[in-house]
Amino acid sequence: MDLNEFLTRKEKIDVLLKEQGWVVGDRSKIIVEVDTKQSDFRAQNYKTVAETLKNDMESKYVDYLLLDSHGAPIAIIEAKRTSKDPILTAQKQAEEYADDIKKQTSDDVFIFLSNGYEIWFWDRKRYGPRQVKGFFSQKDLERLRFQVEAKTKLTDVEIEGRIVDRSKSVECVKRVLEHIQKGNRKALIVMATGTGKTRVSMAIIDVLLKAGWAQKVLFLTDRRALRNQAYDDGFKRFFPEESKSKIFSGVFDKNARLYVSTIQTFMEIYNQKDKSGKYLISPGEFDVIFSDEAHRSIYNKWKDVFTYLDAIQIGLTATPADFIERDTFRFFHCENNVATTLYSYEEAVKDGVLCDFRKNISGARTHFQIAGIKPADVPSGEMRRLSDEGVDPFDMNFEGTDLEKKVAVKGTSEALVREFMDNCLMDQSGTLPAKSIIFAISKKHAKRLWEAFERLFPEYKGRLARIIVSDDPRAQSSIDEFKKQSFPRVAISVDMLDTGIDVPEVCNLVFAKPVFSRIKFWQMLGRGTRANHVCTHKDWLPDGKKEYFKVFDFWDNFEYWDMHPEGDKTESGEAITSRIFLTRLKQLEFFLQSGDTEKVEQVKKKIIDDVASLPKDSVSVRENLKDVEKALSPSLWDKVGVDPVEFLKKKMTPLMKYKQDVNLNEASFTLKCERLGVALLVNDQKELERLKEKIGEMIECLPDELNVVKPKIPFKEKVLTHRFWEQVSFEESQMLLTEFSRLMKYMASEPRKTIVIDMDDVIQQRKLIEFGPDAKQEYVNVYKEKVEERIKMLAREHPAIYKIERDEVLTEEDLHKLEETLNSPELYVTEDVLQKVFNQNRGTLVQFIKNILGLYKFPDPEVRIKDAFNTYVIEHNKHYSADQLN
C-alpha cells in the first residue's frame, strides 16, 4: 500500500516513535515540522510551519525535531512517502537541515531517514548512514552524543596486562581494536578453546570503556554455562566497580553498564513492550555486543536479535576457520573468509598453550556395532524372555547403527567401559582413571554405561562415575564436584558437557556416540585441550603432568569426518516453519502446472493462512510489512509479469521463522505430511519409504490412554498397517495432517520401548594396535600396510613363505623360523597381533600370510552369522511357522 507523506508519518512513523518513548504532541521531547531557518536553536525557541508559513522570510521544515532531556536538539527525522527510497530522496535534504542547526549550536545532530518501512541512521561524525530496525530512545541518543564528544583513539589506550598476559592474546586484542578504529562495526575472533577468548573479550571491553567508545556492553552466549563463565570469570573479576546484570526472563535493568545473557533468554525479552507500548529494549540500547559461538545462531532463528540491535558486533568462536560457514564470515564483514583475528589449535599446541590429541586416538568397535544383531545372536533364555514380553524374536534384525536407539545390549556397554578402563590415561598413582568425559547417545544409554561401571568395578562403591544431564536439578552441583573434587573421575554426559565446560584436568574423552556436526565434534574435542600449566590438581594427572590427552572413538567419528567433511546435510538450517511453507509452494506449483483448480485453491488457502499468521508487531516482520501486505492482496495472483510463487518463495519464506507459538513436534509432523504429499505427487518412492517410517514412528508415539487420542485410535491402527501405505494418496496425506498434527503436542518421547538384551559383546576392531615388548602403538591401517609390505618382500626370499605359496606342508622348524623372522624389532608380527589387525579371532599365521598373498579369503562375518542362524533354525524349527521362517 502506497501512502503519501502525511499518512506515512501518521500511520507508520508516529507509531514507531511512540514505541521508543517519543510521543508526538509532547513538545518537551519531540516537535513536528520545525523551521530550521527561523528557529533559534541555541535559545531553544522552535518555530513550526504554523508560525512561519505565511511570512516572507526563508523557511525550511524538518519533519521531526527530537530533543534531549534539557530541551536541546539531538536528532532530526526526515520522512518520505512509503514508495520513496529514503536514501535517494531524503539524505541531502536532511543534511541541509542538520547544517542549519549546526550553524547556530556548533553541534552536529543525529539524522534519521524513513519512509515508514525503512529507517536509516546517520552519525555524521563517525560513520556513514546505516539501516536500523527502529528509532533510538532519548537516553540512547544522549549516550551516543557523549561518545562522539568524549571518545579518544583506541590505539592510545594501554592494554591491561592483568587481563591478557600472552603476546598472542595482546596481538588479537590489538587487531580487533585497530579494525574498529578504522570505522568497522563488525569483527570475528577465532580462537581455539582454551586460548583465552573470554580474557581477550574483557581486554577489548576495557579499552572501549576507557576510550569512551562504549558505555553499555552486552555479552550473549548460547548456553547458561558460558553465560556464567563470562559473568564470573569476566565481568566480576576484571570490572568489580562497574554495574553489571545477568538478564533473566522478563527482567531488564536499564541502569547497568555490563550485561550478560543467553541468546534464548534475550529472545524472550527484546521484543517485549511495557504497559505504555514502549519497547523494553531499543535498537540503540547497547554500544557493543559480544556473541560467544555466534556461528551456531546467527543464521538460525536468532538472527533477528543481531540485526535488531545497532551496535559494534564482535563474534567469538572456537570453531576452526575451515569449518565456519561462509554466511558467518559474511555477517561479520570478513573478506575472503578471513577472520579479523585468528589463533588456531595447531598454533596454540605449538606454543604450548594447548594439549594435543592427534597421536592418541584409540578407535574400537564391538562385534554388534559392526555386524548388527540377528535372531541367531540372542541366547535362548533371552529369546524366551523377550517372547514373554511380546517381542517377536524374528523381528530382531538390527543394524549396528540401531544400537541405543531401537535396541540395546548390556554387553556392549560393558565392553566399551572395559576397553576404556584398560586403556585410559591414569592419575599420578596409576590406580585411578584421570578425569574423563564420556559422551553418551541418550539418558538411557548414559544410565546403561553407569550401570556397567557399577557391575564391573563395584570396589569404587558408586563414586567412580556420575551421570550429568540437563534435566537434573543438581546438574551444576555435579559439574562443580567433577571439576573440584577427586571423585567422580568419570562424567557421563548427554549434551551437557559438550561445550562451555572448563575442567583443565580432563585427560580422556570417550565418544560413545556418533556426532554428525563437525562444529560440535570439534567443540567436544575442546573439552580436553587445556594444557598442564592451567591444571591445579597435579595428582589427578598421569605422572603428575598433562602432556597430551587421549580420545576413545567408539563410533568411527574421525573416519566419518575424513569421508564427510561437510557433515550431515540431510536437513536444512532453515526454520522448520520456513520448510513447511516451501513444501506447500512446491505442491502449489504442481497443481498450477497440472491445472487442478480445486487443489490450487486448497493449497493457496494454507499458504495465505501462513502469511496472515505472521506477528505484525514483530520488529523483523514489520520491516517487511510492505511485502506481507502484497502477499495478502488478491491482486498478487492476477498481476501480469509477477510470478506469485517466486515472490512468496523469495519474500515470505524467510519470515516464516518468526511465527509464534510453534510446537516443534506438531511442526515436524506437519512438514513430514506435506513432504509426503509432494512425494506422492511426483512418485518419489524412495522419499515415500523414508517418510512412511518417520510418520509411523510419530503416530505410534501418541498415548492411547489420552482422551483426545482415543477417538483417533481406529484410524491410528489403520495408518500403522502396511496395507494403508501400499495405497496411500495425496488426499490421505492431508488427512493425516488434519487428524494427527494437533495431537503431536502430546507425543511421548519414544515411539517404542527400546529392546534391551542381556548378552555379552566383545571389542572386535581396534584402530590402535599394541605390539612388541614395549607395547608400541600404531594405527591399525598403517601397521597392516607395513606387515603386508614385509610379508610380500619376504615371499621372494624366505623358504617357509615359498612353501606356503605352493601349498606345501610346513614343518615345526619352518614355523619356528618364520615366527622368529616376523617377530623381529620394528613390527613384532605375531599370530595374536594379526588376529586383532584382521578382526579374525581364529585365524592362523599361515592363513594370514595366504590372505596377504591373495591365496586365501576369510569368511565374511555375515556368512558366519547366516550359517549360525541356519543351525539355530534347524535346531529350533518346531517353535516357528513357515511364514516366520520366510
**Res 519: pLDDT:** 79
Residue 594 makes CB contacts below 8 A (sequence gap 6+) with none
**Distance of alpha carbon 854 from the chain centroid:** 47
**What is the DSSP annotation of 519-588?**
HHHHHHHGGG-B-GGG-S-GGGSGGGS-SB-EEEESS-HHHHHHH-TT---SS-SS-HHHHHHHHHHHHH
Confidence band (pLDDT; 50, 70, 90) for 307? confident
Residue 570 has a pLDDT of 43
pLDDT beyond 90 at 552: yes
Beta bridge partners of 45: 40
Whether residue 278 contacts residue 21, with contact meaning beta carbons closer than 8 Å, is answered with yes
Predicted confidence (pLDDT) per residue in 727-765, tens digit:
899 999 999 999 999 999 998 765 557 889 999 998 877
pTM comes to 0.76
Q: What is the pLDDT of residue 720?
A: 87
pLDDT at residue 529 is higher than 90: yes
pLDDT-derived band of residue 562, with 50, 70 and 90 as boundaries?
Answer: low
Predicted confidence band at 700 (pLDDT cuts at 50, 70, 90)?
confident
Please report which confidence band the pLDDT of residue 54 belongs to, taking 50, 70 and 90 as the band edges: confident
Distance CA(634)–CA(646), nearest Å, equals 16
pLDDT at 607: 96
The conformation of residue 40, written as its DSSP 8-state character, comes to B
Statement: residue 779 has pLDDT above 70: no
* Average pLDDT value for residue range 180-189: 95
Confidence (pLDDT) at 92: 96
Report how far apart, in Å, the C-alpha atoms of 225 and of each of 236, 393, 479, 748, 775 are.
Answer: 15, 45, 10, 29, 40
355, 531 contact by CB (below 8 A): yes
Q: CB–CB of 798/821 below 8 Å?
A: yes
Candidate from 199-208, 620-629, 857-866 with smallest mean pLDDT: 857-866
Specify the pLDDT at position 276. Answer: 87
Amino acid at 515: V
Note the Cα 626 to chain centre separation in Å.
32
Q: What structural domains does the chain harbor?
A: 5-150 (3.90.1570.30), 154-350 (3.40.50.300), 361-563 (3.40.50.300), 576-746 (no CATH), 769-855 (no CATH)
Residues 344-348 have a mean pLDDT of 93
Cα-to-chain-centroid distance, residue 113:
37
Q: List C-alpha distances in Å: 828 to 383, 611, 821, 836, 839.
A: 44, 71, 9, 14, 18
| Cis amide bond preceding 129, omega within 30 | no
One-character DSSP codes across 347-388: HHHHTTSB-B-TT-EEEEEEHHHHH-B-GGGS-HHHHHHHHH
pLDDT at site 885: 47
Residue-wise pLDDT for 404-461, tens only, equals 888 899 999 999 999 999 989 999 999 999 999 999 999 999 999 999 999 999 999 9
Say which residue, 623 or 340, is predicted with more confidence: 340
Residues 6 or more apart whose Cβ sits within 8 Å of residue 730: 677, 680, 681
Taken in order 477, 478, 479, 482, the sign of the CA dihedral is: positive
Look at the chain and count its residues.
886
What does the alpha-carbon distance between residue 879 and residue 886 come to, in Å, rounded to a whole number?
Answer: 14
CA distances to 160, 170, 322 from 176, in Å: 15, 10, 20
Q: What is the mean pLDDT of the chain?
A: 89
For 864, the enclosing helix (H) or strand (E) is: helix 861-876
Rounded to the nearest 5°, which phi and psi values hold at 836? -70, -40
Q: What is the pLDDT of residue 68?
A: 97
What is the predicted pLDDT for the residue at 621? 86
